[in-house]
Structure 1
């Protein structure tokens, strides 16, 4: 979920970046927001726009503070929604009340959604929502568009509390917990995997608050997408070898909605 100050303009910019138009719209007036939804093969991107002074409502559901933050929250899908709500309550995570809403797809068909969130506190100072998992509609994207979210990056000063939260309480699989040295000293990194998306947590002892940082996007052909980005005026770096073997990467400076952005694709040579 990414904050938008101008939903119409930002939807155009994100559409230009992803290579396709929004797939549905979400409107929940009682919580004071609406969003444009872009469905990828493994996730959804929500551009979130505040349509009312919903501070009190957000304190109850999202602990919202209107700051210049780009990535507002992540939403994890649950295949056993009500039982997970009960489990998280028993674990002391104090989930909010369940909120219901509808989103409307391109064919004007309405679909019900339900979700809850966790309060911001010392144990969990990242905004995390849980929604009832929905079926991803598989469609042919083509090679010249962004097809998936590869990873969401989090900077953290206190790694152990996040490890306990994601692994022990939320039940997200910890794929790797390791120190790396990229030339500026050792850095601890944790990689959690859920629904073909990686939550990449990077230790940063200089900060006092955990925060979402950037997004790594996957495409099937980085060469075709690099050409498309250049033609559409994005400030994109030259293609280079990725840290992961068999990948090519490129970064976009001044990316839409100020979200640090890296493009990742397979090295087919």
Structure 2
């Protein structure tokens, strides 16, 4: 049986200054921005190999606002979701987009849209980001979040790991060729009934080139260090991400 979700179509980031954020994310991703309408409003998007980064202006707190999943059979999903306890917000949905009620998705803002073909793209520079590696959700109760992602939304759980040294329980759910990561802190637990978006980890084919290019463009970037995943190196982007904790990941 095929899964309801086949990809992460887009990540939506709310920003207070769309012009400034567009310039910053063009420099961060190494990609050109496109002005595209989104849900009746203006937005700017950056199309990467495996997902779209979309910026929308908001007067609220900046940061990651929504994950939009690609669905091969939206009509089937429309019938299934209410049967597994997930409400669709009819007034915010249409034939090609299903907005899900956050009260039924542990307070995180999720949506489904029709799956689309992705195209391979030539990177404009050696350090340009090649795609998204994982989107992170912070959870107050990993078991309930797992039931949402794996049981009701049918994402494939690949790993459930508790590590006292990291002060965290980490769960990884495959979504196309990237990961939805659930992070549950151990010593300072969140409220068990609510989750929240945390951050994004971007892929690069050449982390040294990415680090050099971002530094030249004026970003505050940490030193490259060994990643938690075997065979990886990472660095943290510490500014100009408009409320989104941001990691860059490359392979050794």
Q: Into which bin does the TM-score normalised by the smaller protein fall?
A: 0.7 to 0.9
Deviation, 1:207, is 2.1
Task: Decide which moves more: 114-123 or 124-133.
Answer: 114-123
1:56-67 equivalent positions in 2, closer than 5 A: 67=60
- 2:61 maps to 68
Contact 1:24 1:38 (8 Å CA) reproduced: no
TM-score, scaled to structure 2: 0.87
1:74-89 equivalent positions in 2, closer than 5 A: 74-89=67-82
State how far apart, in whole Å, the 1-side matches of 2:116 and 2:35 are.
13
State how far apart, in whole Å, the 1-side matches of 2:105 and 2:244 are.
25
1:1-269 equivalent positions in 2, closer than 5 A: 1-29=12-40, 33-50=41-58, 67-97=60-90, 99-100=93-94, 114-121=96-103, 124-141=106-123, 142-182=125-165, 185=167, 187-204=168-185, 205-208=188-191, 209-267=194-252
Contact 1:222 1:265 (8 Å CA) reproduced: yes
State how far apart, in whole Å, the 1-side matches of 2:96 and 2:138 are.
28
State how far apart, in whole Å, the 1-side matches of 2:147 and 2:99 are.
18
Contact 2:24 2:240 (8 Å CA) reproduced: no
Deviation, 1:182, is 2.4
Structure 1 consecutive aligned stretches of length 4 or more whose deviation exceeds 6 Å: none
State how far apart, in whole Å, the 2-side matches of 1:73 and 1:81 are.
18
Q: How many residues align?
A: 235
State how far apart, in whole Å, the 2-side matches of 1:134 and 1:37 are.
16
State how far apart, in whole Å, the 1-side matches of 2:173 and 2:216 are.
35
Question: 1 or 2 for the larger relative contact order (CA 8 Å, sep ≥6)?
Answer: 2
TM-score, scaled to structure 1: 0.82
Contact 1:145 1:225 (8 Å CA) reproduced: yes
RMSD: 1.8
Greater Rg by CA:
1
State how far apart, in whole Å, the 1-side matches of 2:62 and 2:243 are.
9
Partner deviation per Cα, 1:124-159 (whole Å, 9 max, x = no partner)? 211111111111132111432011111111111111
Contact 1:147 1:219 (8 Å CA) reproduced: yes
